[in-house]
Amino acid sequence: MVMLLPLLLAAAAPAADPLVGTWVNPAGSVRIRVAACGDEPGLCGTVIAANDKARDDAARGGTDRLIGTRLFRGLRQQRDGGYAGTVFVPDLNSEVDGMLHLDGRNVLVAEGCLFAGFGCQQQRWTRAPGPR
């Protein structure tokens, strides 16, 4: 029975959320890590790397420090399998309600609207190679 306990505990542990991992934006200029927020419920996507142009664009929009900024916050899985939460747009220094969903295993689609269905944008992130 003692030898079975570790197997039972492993089987009872929740599977890793498929959103968890490192993602790269379409231009390859920003890399985020999606993981548990820690200080609030849900998942967060935090910038872990950005090129000079991305950092300059964010600074012009009012986001002085892009690396370490949470682009996605409070993501919670919905009944349809997608995720709802807050999306931060660093170029505008603004937060919007957003929806994310996976398109296959390696593409993350993020969508958000500036106001009541207007000014909507979609961005497709690709899973970075390597361990999740």
pLDDT per position as a tens digit, 14-40: 457 899 999 999 999 999 999 999 988
Q: Give me the sign of the Cα torsion angle 64, 66, 69, 75.
A: positive
Domain ranges of the chain: 15-127
Q: Which residue has the tokens 């300059």?
A: 56
pLDDT digits (tens, 9 = 90+) for 43-89: 999 999 999 999 999 999 999 999 999 999 999 999 999 999 999 99
pLDDT value, residue 6: 40
CA-closest candidate to residue 83, choices 72, 70, 68, 67: 72
Q: What is the pTM of this model?
A: 0.83
d(CA 72, CA 129): 20
For position 11, what pLDDT does the model report?
A: 38
With tokens 């995720």, the residue in question is: 83
Q: Domain 15-127's class?
A: mainly beta
Amino acid 56: pLDDT: 96
pLDDT band of 129, cuts 50, 70, 90 = confident
